[in-house]
Chains A and B, each alone.
Chain A
Amino acid sequence: MRKALEKVGDECLYFLEQAGRMGVFLVFCLISLLIPPYKPQAIVKQIHFIGARSLFVILFTGAFTGMVLGLQGYYTLRKFGSEGLLGSAVALSLIRELGPVLTALMVIGRAGSAICAEIGIMRNSEQIDALECMAIDPYKYLMAPKFVAAIFSLPLLTFVFDVIGIFGGFLVGVSLLGVNEGTYFQGMYASVVWQDIEMGLVKSLVFGLLIIWISAAKGYYLQFERNGGFGAEGVSRTTTSAVVTASVTVLVWDYLISAILL
């Protein structure tokens, strides 16, 4: 019994320590965003890495998500004789929910994991210590461009995901299953309002911040990971943990934002 309580206590302390570190990390990163000089070149490089290089996977997943929504939506709506609502069903699902969430999950898998591993290896090989000793602020030099790039890229990628998804739904619903083209778009125009777009935008901005925060902080504090984060195995374990934590956090915040904005 006592051992069990000790274990629970240890877990709680570890969780609080981690939460404290992550909080401090976020504050330092946000402060570093406000302090000049700003490095546009570094930001563009990170936008290329997080945004442009995620484009293909976003196009691919967006198209197939839209297509499956078109397919499932058509057969579900047909039961109620409401195939005409397919356009609005696809558009609302994508804009409010699936677009931001799936884009975030794809970016976590592609860029978040890479960022965590990169910073973790820099921590392991003393490169971050070297920056500090050279009086170069690692928050400003390493993190700030990544934060700006993620917060900027996620809404754009989400927009691309939504557009391609709607086109995918159109392809299946209209071209394959025979829904009227005018009805598809008319339903969409009639049902999508600014609040829906706003919800998608808020979600993608928050998800961008969450992804970069968790991925970068996990790598930065590699040495504090449970069972030690050093060595190749430590980096791999920490990267897995970052991907899982970021994915779960995105889903939790998806619910919270929906509950707040609905």
Chain B
Amino acid sequence: MDNVEPKRVIELIGVEKHFGAQKVLHGVNLSVREGTTTVIVGASGQGKSVVLKHMLGLVKPDRGRVIVFGRDLATIRRRELKKVRMGFGVLFQNVALFDSMTVYDNVALPLRERTEATEEEIRANVEQKLAMMDLDGTGEKYPAQLSGGMKKRVGLARALVLNPKIVFFDEPTTGLDVNKSNEIYRLFYRTQAELKYTAVIVSHDVPKIFKLSDYVALLAEGEIQGCLTPDAFQLSDNPHIRAFVETTMGPIYSSEKEERGLYEEI
């Protein structure tokens, strides 16, 4: 039984996308397995966020299929898409909090709009999620009054408030210093262990992000060059993956320096 492969909750099959004359995705194939953490890496401008937006149903492919929970988002009707999205939580790159709402109202919004919960139930749920993010006492503040790291944590609280099946992270640590980044990763690790969600992360925080991932997928030249475990990824013979590993982890990630413990802090 242990060898049973987890169910694939997201599958991208031959996804192509143009923006004007520019072809961004040339045929992306990628599977995300239930309960795992898949990290999509790649150089800037390769279309990582475009892949994420396909998974979220925000962008439709020109060709190919985007299957989430067994439904093809390329052909699905709006009402059905809404049902699929009921299982989503998203932490956007710039968090996308509603500036005119307090932290509490931001986190409560999905509960108010999507559930029949009473205000008491909403309060209990929101306070629990804020406490989970170490944000007690910030409910009455507005996003403009928060630091970058706190905004990310509010965004994560909002993403998790409905206990989603899949949580998408678009560059979750962009603009944060090392300590704040580690804090976000710690919260991610803790919440995933607790809520058992599938995670898809777009990140350039290599190699740190490898520590959190079950699978790493490299997007280069409009295609997924490989979706492998972090260890297999670093040993891959694929020229694009090799080049990426050398560029991002390059000279300092040699086994010699690793032995000297330079990467202990990761």
Contact = CB atoms under 8 A, between A and B. Distances in A.
Interface of A: 125-127, 129-130, 132-137, 141
B110 A129 contact: no
Interface in B108-138: 109-110, 113-114
Given A132-B58, A136-B109, 13 more contacts: A129-B92, A130-B90, A130-B92, A132-B56, A132-B85, A133-B58, A133-B85, A134-B85, A135-B82, A135-B85, A135-B86, A136-B113, A141-B113
B252 interface: no
B249 interface: no
A141 B112 CA distance: 11
Contacts of B93: 126
A130 B98 CA distance: 9
Interface string B9-20: 000000000000
B262 interface: no
A130 B91 CA distance: 9
B96 interface: yes
16 contacts: A125-B94, A125-B96, A126-B94, A126-B96, A127-B97, A129-B92, A130-B90, A130-B92, A132-B56, A132-B85, A133-B56, A134-B114, A135-B83, A135-B88, A135-B114, A136-B114
In the A-B complex, the 10 residue pairs with the smallest Cβ-Cβ separation, listed nearest first, are A130-B96, A126-B96, A135-B85, A133-B90, A136-B113, A134-B110, A135-B82, A126-B92, A127-B96, A135-B86
Given A133-B90, A134-B113, A127 B85 contact: no
B109 A127 contact: no
A136 B158 CA distance: 13
A227 to B, nearest CB: 13
Interface string B168-210: 1000000000000000000000000000000000000000000
A150 to B, nearest CB: 19
B143 to A, nearest CB: 10
Contacts of B56: 129, 132-133
Nearest to A140: B113
B106 to A, nearest CB: 10
A141 B88 CA distance: 18
A135 B85 CA distance: 5
Contacts of B113: 134, 136, 141
B107 to A, nearest CB: 11
Interface string B67-99: 000000000000000110110101011101110
Contact of A133 (B88, B94, B97, B98): B88
Nearest to B98: A127
Nearest to A132: B58
B110 A136 contact: yes
Given A134-B109, A136-B110, A129 B96 contact: yes
A99 to B, nearest CB: 33
Nearest to A130: B96
Contacts of A132: 56-58, 85
A88 B19 CA distance: 59
Nearest to A129: B58
Nearest to A136: B113
Contacts of B88: 133-135
Nearest to B86: A135
A256 B192 CA distance: 60
A201 B77 CA distance: 38
A168 B88 CA distance: 58
B221 to A, nearest CB: 25
Nearest to A127: B96
A133 B58 CA distance: 8
A15 B113 CA distance: 36
A54 to B, nearest CB: 20
A133 B162 CA distance: 12
A137 B94 contact: no
A137 to B, nearest CB: 7
A205 B110 CA distance: 33
Nearest to A39: B113
Interface in B43-73: 53, 56-58
